[in-house]
């Protein structure tokens, strides 16, 4: 929502008056939501009426004439915006010309949004449900509007399709009953059987039409769209709903708190190249939200629509979807816990790809190395200090004139030798590619453009000529990745470059697509694609702001429909090409993203600045995600970069990248460098655990880095926490996010927790003859009832806690994932209060395609009970190294002996209830108890 008191220019007001629609005739009375108690409604009405009367007396009448009684019946928090246009002076005359209520509210501070002055009355005309019939999968209905709405080309008759797809998934789709409309070309599951025992009940309001969805177990109303009218015009689609609580998450990509504010907050979805800034539309579009209900249940809603969109949040609590094209295609996921909601969402959009193991190592990059020799020097320095590193990257420096698929023959002439050296040391090389293809080289000198032009593979203007914009190399054309022929051309370009520089992964950037000019070198043509009747709250107030014209023509549709899909389509083409070229799992990260992106790429959060930020948490099915550690732009400090490296070591995708100034670990003092090295060694020791988490994400849509409330949904204290996170179920990360402190306060959920760093004790040496010194006091178990705890956090320390009941597979860390994988396995067993624990390990060769699908893997489940412990699994592929070390936390008294498959084994025991060490052969099965 916006504040209507933020008046703009008289010119804007005059323009709107010229374009304003005639007043609407009054419609039928709206049905009151059936779940609202009459006493509550009357109280709200009386309070609203009295408040308005008092304000009018105090203000001396500045609020204007007294509104009709029906308008005073609407409480402020439930006023749904009837005039969302920005840059407009909204007057009473303009508002009432739409048949809406006009009540001014007190002014707010500049930049703040508030209660809308123009809002829908209870009797505003909407659609009526004319017919509803049963189908094999659900229902089909017809919606009819008998009075025109105020946006042009409103559609009088709509088709309603309802499919009860599973017991926990409902599909509701509303589209034009007479004419086909653009729909997102996303592969979604097609069901053949109606759900037999859904955990939800669905009802409809017939006139006006509305959807009422409830959870059977609790009666909670998850959707109630009768709160505001449905509008369905050719370029303006709007539907609103009440929400059962204020705890709303998702709706990316925006720089915002993890828990969204419902205080008149608007989030916009239109991919845009802009450094992450609050209140702006950023690189990706993910119209999906998760909401926590009272009692700890959760549900999610996904609008499958790729057009420019905004979601308006208000304190009712309520939500309004507005989009300017396509159809209203909703999936609702009933959970009931938040983990299950995310899994059900990914059952629709697709589970993420399994990354190669080296993708989970530490990556290093800088825009400004200047030469391949300078890049090489950084790699050597990392090796000299024995700091873990799996991949070295280059930004656009390596290119000749910033042109894709070229190499600067002066400054980067030794790049092939650098890549060869990386490969000899078990490391990888990743290069950047931008979306724009240089269009200014002499004919015959730049094959990518010449061949793309010959084949007709670029976005075209409405006149059928390639649309020319401007990016780093100067004037550029933009590949049309909606065209399958472009995928072949893209493959050929990558093959040609790979023959000179055998890269291991690709980083696709500037793919919103970014454009340094608005639209094209010739601007954009007049028309309702580039200047629609309604433009969502996009940065720049234009769909073409720093991107291409919405009217640009592509193979599948106009760019107006495909803009938010550009990064996804490029990622799909790039992943396919990498498989063809290397024959291994592809590795790539993309800046622009859309639902299902995780099937093809990871994601980094763009051009972030150095500063003290919260951790990132992913709800969108892209588990391989991370921010540029220490910040891409701006000046970091040694303290900031050390703390950020500690946090970034636990990003699922861990990369230090910046512009110009050095900020890799070798650039700092010995103390800071040691702290960074130590936390990276911790990450590498946990690679078996992390890799297994990614397997579970690939197999069933589990999250890797998850918020605390995913594991503790009944603990309301966790619902607002976004300064801590978990790896899977088991590892709690509490980073320091403030300067100048040596302690951190974090929430410890109910249960038994153990300080992870106990296992860094020399007792974990592969040689059991080494003595075990006394462990620090924090090595003992911490039994929490769910409380905030102040923890020591000197600059060299990151607080990590292992959850009781968990078994973490780890390894002695090396400087690359390859070295680490050759080291012995270590199981960290953290006993629960009931002396039980569980964990698992997925193991394959780390890079081959479809190892799980082909059965070329080993999977072991470890468990501990009060009477023993063991491992069960299957082995059809590579096994972990041939011996295992076991450390158990929480043993209450010394055991008399330890047996492995009936044979007694040596062990040691410490008196702080930590049983740290014995060494046993690893065979996939066995009970070391």
- What span, in angstroms and rounded, lies between the C-alpha atoms of 211 and 223? 7
- What span, in angstroms and rounded, lies between the C-alpha atoms of 135 and 163? 9
Phi and psi torsions of 44, nearest 5°: -65, -40
Do the Cβ atoms of 427 and 480 come closer than 8 Å? no
What does the CA dihedral 289, 292, 353, 853 come to, rounded to 10 degrees? -130
Retrieve residue 599's tokens.
């099937």
- Cis (ω within 30 of 0) for the bond into 100? no
At residue 150's C-alpha, the angle toward residues 144 and 154, to 5°, is 40
Which DSSP string do the residues of 105-119 spell out, in sequence order? -----TT-----SEE
- Cis (ω within 30 of 0) for the bond into 208? yes
Residues in Cβ contact with 786 at an 8 Å cutoff, skipping those fewer than 6 apart: 712, 715, 717, 747, 748, 749, 750
In the chain, how many H helices and how many E strands? 16, 47
- What span, in angstroms and rounded, lies between the C-alpha atoms of 761 and 645? 22
- What span, in angstroms and rounded, lies between the C-alpha atoms of 564 and 568? 8
Do the Cβ atoms of 306 and 326 come closer than 8 Å? yes
Do the Cβ atoms of 605 and 582 come closer than 8 Å? no
Residue located via tokens 């200090």: 385
Retrieve residue 139's tokens.
């229902």
- In what helix (H) or strand (E) does residue 706 lie, and over which residues does it extend? strand 705-706
Which DSSP string do the residues of 642-680 spell out, in sequence order? HHHHHHHTTSSSEEEEEESS--SGGGS-HHHHHHHHHHH
- What span, in angstroms and rounded, lies between the C-alpha atoms of 128 and 120? 17
Largest Cα–Cα separation, the chain: 92
Do the Cβ atoms of 128 and 26 come closer than 8 Å? no
- Residue 509 among the catalytic residues: yes
- Among 340, 304, 352, smallest CA distance to 620 is for 352
Catalytic residue of the set 234, 509, 678, 840 = 509
Retrieve residue 441's tokens.
């080289």
- Residue 512 among the catalytic residues: yes
- Burial of residue 498, with CB atoms counted within 10 A of its CB: 0-12 exposed, 13-18 middle, 19 or more buried: middle
Residue located via tokens 């969402």: 345
* Length of the chain as a residue count: 929
Catalytic residue of the set 512, 664, 702, 711 = 512
- What span, in angstroms and rounded, lies between the C-alpha atoms of 772 and 910? 8
Detail the DSSP E strand segments found in 183-278: 200-206, 209-215, 221-224, 231-233, 236-242, 247-252, 265-269
Residue located via tokens 């000299």: 384
Distances (CA, A) of 392 to 143, 402, 814: 57, 19, 17
Which DSSP string do the residues of 126-149 spell out, in sequence order? --EEEEEEE-SSEEEEEEE--S--
- In what helix (H) or strand (E) does residue 579 lie, and over which residues does it extend? helix 566-582
Q: How many CB atoms lie within 10 A of CB 359?
A: 29
Residue located via tokens 């088709």: 159
Catalytic residues: 509, 512
């Amino acid at each position: 929502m916006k504040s209507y008191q933020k008046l703009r220019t008289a010119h804007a007001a005059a323009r709107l008056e010229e374009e304003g629609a005639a007043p609407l005739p009054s419609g039928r009375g709206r049905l009151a939501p059936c779940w609202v108690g009459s006493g509550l409604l009357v109280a709200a009405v009386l309070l609203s009426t009295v408040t308005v009367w008092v304000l009018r007396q105090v203000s001396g009448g500045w609020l204007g004439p007294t509104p009709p009684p029906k308008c005073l019946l609407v409480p402020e928090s439930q006023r749904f915006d009837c005039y969302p246009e920005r840059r407009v002076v909204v007057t009473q005359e303009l508002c009432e010309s739409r048949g809406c209520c006009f009540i001014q509210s007190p002014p707010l501070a500049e930049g703040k949004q508030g209660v809308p002055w123009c809002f829908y009355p209870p009797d505003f005309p909407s659609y009526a449900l004319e017919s509803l019939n049963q189908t094999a999968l659900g229902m089909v209905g017809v919606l009819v509007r008998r009075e025109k709405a105020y946006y042009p080309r409103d559609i009088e008759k709509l088709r309603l399709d309802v499919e009860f797809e599973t017991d926990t998934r409902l599909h509701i789709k509303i589209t034009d009953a007479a004419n086909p409309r653009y729909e997102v070309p996303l592969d979604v599951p097609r069901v053949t059987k109606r759900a037999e025992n859904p955990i939800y009940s669905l009802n409809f309001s017939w006139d006006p039409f509305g959807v009422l969805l409830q959870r059977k177990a609790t009666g909670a109303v998850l959707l109630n769209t009768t709160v505001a009218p449905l509008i369905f015009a050719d370029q303006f689609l709007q539907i609103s709903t009440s929400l059962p609580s204020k705890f709303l998450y998702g709706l990316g990509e925006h720089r915002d708190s993890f828990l969204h504010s419902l205080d008149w907050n608007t989030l916009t979805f239109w991919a845009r190249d802009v450094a992450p800034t609050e209140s702006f539309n950023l690189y990706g579009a993910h119209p999906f939200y998760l909401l926590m209900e009272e009692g700890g249940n959760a549900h999610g809603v996904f609008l499958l629509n790729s057009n420019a969109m905004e979601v308006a949040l208000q304190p009712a609590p309520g939500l309004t979807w507005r989009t300017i094209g396509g159809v209203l295609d909703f999936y609702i996921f009933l959970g009931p816990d938040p983990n299950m909601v995310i899994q059900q969402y990914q059952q629709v959009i697709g589970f993420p790809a399994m990354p190669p193991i080296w993708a989970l190592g530490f990556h290093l990059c800088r825009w400004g190395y200047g030469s391949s020799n300078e890049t090489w020097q950084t790699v050597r320095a990392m090796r000299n200090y024995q700091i873990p590193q799996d991949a070295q990257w280059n930004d656009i420096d390596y290119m000749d004139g910033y042109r894709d698929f070229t190499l600067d023959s002066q400054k980067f002439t030794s790049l092939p030798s650098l890549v060869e050296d990386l490969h000899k040391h078990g490391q990888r090389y990743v290069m950047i590619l931008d979306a724009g293809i240089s269009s200014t080289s002499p004919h015959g000198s730049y094959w990518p453009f010449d061949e793309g032009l010959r084949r007709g593979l670029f976005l075209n203007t409405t006149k059928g000529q390639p649309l020319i914009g401007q990016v780093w190399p100067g004037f550029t054309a933009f590949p049309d990745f909606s065209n399958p022929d472009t995928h072949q051309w893209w493959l050929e370009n990558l093959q040609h470059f790979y023959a000179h520089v055998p890269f291991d992964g690709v980083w696709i950037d500037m793919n919103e697509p970014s454009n340094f000019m608005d639209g094209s070198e010739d601007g954009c043509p007049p028309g309702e694609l580039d200047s629609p009747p309604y433009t969502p709250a996009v940065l720049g107030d234009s769909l073409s702001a720093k991107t291409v014209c919405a009217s640009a023509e592509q193979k599948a549709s106009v760019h107006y429909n495909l803009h938010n899909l550009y990064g996804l389509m490029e990622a799909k083409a790039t992943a396919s090409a990498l498989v063809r070229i290397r024959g291994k799992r592809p590795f790539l990260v993309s800046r622009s993203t859309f639902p299902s992106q995780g099937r093809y790429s990871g994601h980094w959060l763009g051009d972030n600045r150095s500063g003290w930020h919260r951790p990132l948490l992913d709800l969108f099915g892209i588990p391989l995600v991370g921010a540029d550690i220490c910040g891409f732009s701006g000046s970091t400090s040694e303290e900031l970069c050390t703390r950020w490296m500690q946090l970034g070591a636990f990003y699922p995708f861990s990369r230090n990248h910046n512009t110009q100034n050095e900020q890799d670990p070798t650039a700092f003092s010995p103390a800071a460098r040691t702290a960074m090295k130590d936390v990276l060694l911790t990450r590498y020791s946990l690679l078996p655990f992390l890799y297994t988490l990614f397997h579970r994400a690939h197999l069933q849509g589990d999250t890797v880095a998850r918020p605390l409330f995913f594991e503790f949904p009944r603990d309301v204290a966790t619902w607002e926490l976004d300064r801590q996170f978990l790896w899977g179920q088991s590892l709690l990360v509490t980073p320091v996010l403030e300067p100048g402190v040596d302690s951190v306060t974090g929430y410890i959920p109910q249960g038994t927790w153990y300080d992870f760093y106990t296992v860094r004790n020399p007792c974990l040496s592969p040689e059991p003859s080494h003595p075990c010194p006394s462990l620090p006091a924090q090595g003992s178990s911490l039994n929490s009832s769910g409380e905030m705890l102040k923890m020591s956090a000197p600059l060299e320390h990151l607080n990590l806690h292992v959850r009781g009941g968990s078994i973490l597979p780890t390894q002695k860390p090396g400087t690359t994932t390859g070295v680490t994988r050759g080291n012995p396995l270590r199981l960290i067993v953290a006993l629960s209060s009931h002396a039980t624990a569980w964990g698992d390990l997925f193991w394959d060769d780390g890079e081959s395609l479809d190892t799980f699908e082909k059965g070329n893997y080993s999977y072991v489940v470890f468990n501990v009970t009060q009477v023993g412990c063991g491992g069960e699994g299957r082995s059809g592929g590579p096994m972990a190294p041939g011996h295992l070390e076991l450390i158990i936390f929480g043993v209450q008294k010394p055991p008399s002996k330890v047996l492995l498959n009936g044979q007694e084994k040596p062990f040691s025991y410490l008196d702080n209830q930590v049983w740290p060490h014995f060494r046993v052969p690893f065979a996939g099965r066995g009970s070391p108890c």
